[in-house]
Structure 1
Amino acid sequence: MTGTLEVDRPRDGVAVVRLNRPKQLNAIDEAMQHELAQTLAELAADRSAHAVVLTGSGRGFCAGIDMRNFGPGMLEADAPAIDRMAFQEKMAGLAEAVRALPQPVIAAVNGPCVGAGFALTLACDIRICSTAASFGNAAILLGLSGAEMGMSYHLPRIVGTSVAADWMLSGRTVSAEEADRRGLVSERVEPDALADRALELAALIADLSPLGVQLTKRALQVNTDATSLSSALELENRNQVISHATDEAAARRQKWSR
């Protein structure tokens, strides 16, 4: 446990990262920003972690950046542009770090998921939510651009351009039902079933070949932007040749051939 995060290992191969400022609906302050970046860097180098679950403590997933009490690192509008850019890049780096993890990341969205929290969720590979979850782009409501922390990249690819434009330009709250209907999440469950379902899914992934899983994750990311079927097949074919030659793949083929 850090000051703002809990990191659990409920079983071999699975790490659960829980945002832990429940009184603030897990809003990101300066301490959480630093601790989350450090934790993600540690997980990226941890070969014992094969799947990661990202969730929140209490009744919220993440209410975005803590506008009331972020810490001394918060800059005023009259601060030099270069300093404000550095601040924005540091925040955006959180979503980038989630996406860059070699392990698949499952977002278990347990409640309100707003702004930076929404961006973190979009950077995950799989999103499931409870019926108590809701989603929103808060920046547009504050007079800022609704495109931040990779949102304008990820969201149109997940739900389509028109739906993404609706959500990002209006800043309206999106219910768990609408998120499910639009394909933002792959599954919607009752609140008391969310944690178990996330762990069940993480365990399924963690029990597979780490190399095969990581190659699949990267192929999904790269080929979402593939310029053609042939370029997508080029990557897939290389991945199959690489993974086919491993001892683990040989052992699994032998098991299935019995």
Structure 2
Amino acid sequence: MTTRRQLETIRLDRPEPGIVVATLDRADRMNAMTNTMFAELDWLAHTLDREDDLRVLIITGAGKAFCAGYDLADADRLTELSALGMLDQQELAARALAAIRGMRVPVIAAVNGAAAGGGLALALAADIRIGAPAARFNAAFVRIGLSAGDLGSSWLLTRLIGPAQAAEFAYTARIMEAPEAERLGLLNSVVPAESLLDAAIDLAEEICANSPGGIQLSKRALQANMEIGSFAAALELENRGQALLTRGADMPEALTAFKQKRRPHFTGR
């Protein structure tokens, strides 16, 4: 295990082989983000990505909230920064969320409560979102004189729920409750609060049962093809991924297991 750094804002657990649960651990501040948390998210993403046996990362929040966004206790200093100083601040936060989204393995957000501002962006950075009934989302940037174009939210939200729904949500700064989030596709599912983490782990175990290389290249294809502008380019990317995977050990093992009527033993090699 390579994660030996003492983290101040995140708690790590390993409920099953290949599965890591990262709990944002500032419950007294609704898990609001600080520069320390941004640095720790960035470090965590890059460190876990170097673990060969990692299969899925689950992110959730301690207490009643998922993440309330940037800690308003630190907000006053933002107006004191120069334009370049504020750009540095934004890039620190953006690097952290880009690192989470860019992990080679699937990321599941178990949204236990409010996900606002940067917390919304963190949930959007995950591949899959499961919510408790108390999950709710808010992009209230326009209420404090800022833009909803923050930390990738404008790009990801539009692709998840469509441009018109994203625009209405961003311009009104209203709260989106769990049932609506599920209906629009922001949440994959809503489960009872007491079952949320178990449901996320169950889903992670389903993912872990499959070929690690297949999952990783599937994630790469799904993400890249949200940005590629042509069907031909998407086919090219997919063709390369399939060709690479036939050179590994997992595909022959899967075929052999199918013929022998047993479960395959995947190694990711």
The TM-score with structure 1 as length reference comes to: 0.95
Q: CA RMSD in A?
A: 1.4
Name the SS for the 2:204 alignment partner: helix
Measured after TM superposition, the shift of residue 85 of structure 1 is 0.5
Residue aligning to 1:146:
148
Q: State the distance in 2 between where 1:2 and 1:79 align.
A: 27
Could you tell me which of 40, 51, 57 is aligned with 2:45? 40
Structure of higher RCO (CA pairs closer than 8 Å, 6+ residues apart):
1
Extract unaligned runs of 5+ from structure 1. Answer: none
Match of 1:159 among 155, 158, 161: 161
Structure 1 CA distance for aligned equivalents of residues 207 and 78 of structure 2:
44
Q: Is the 8 A contact 1:51 1:206 kept in 2?
A: yes
Superposed CA deviations along residues 114-147 of structure 1, whole A, max 9, x for unmatched, are 0001001111111111111000002222110111
Alignment deviations for residues 189-233 of structure 1 (CA, whole Å, 9 cap, x no partner): 110111000001111112322111110001001112232222211
Match of 1:19 in 2: 24
Residue 7 of structure 1 aligns with which residue? Answer: 12
The aligned residue for residue 230 of structure 1 is: 232
Asked if 1:255 is matched to 2:253, the reply is no
Matching residue of 1:118: 120
- Of 77, 80, 101, 2:79 maps to 77
In structure 2, the partner of 1:50 is 55
Aligned-pair CA distance for 1:150: 0.4
The TM-score, its normalising length taken from structure 2, stands at: 0.91
Q: Secondary structure at the match of 1:127?
A: strand
Question: CA separation in 2, counterparts of 1:152 and 1:75?
Answer: 25
Q: What is the identity percentage for the equivalent residue pairs of Structure 1 and Structure 2?
A: 37
* Correspondence for 2:265: none
- Give matches, 1:91-130, under 5 Å: 91-130=93-132
User: Which SS does the other structure have where 1:255 is aligned?
Assistant: helix
Secondary structure, aligned partner of 1:122: helix
Q: How many residue pairs get matched?
A: 255
Q: Distance in 1 between matches of 2:78 and 2:39?
A: 20
SS in 2 for 1:77: helix
**Contact 1:138–1:146 at 8 Å: present in 2 too?**
yes
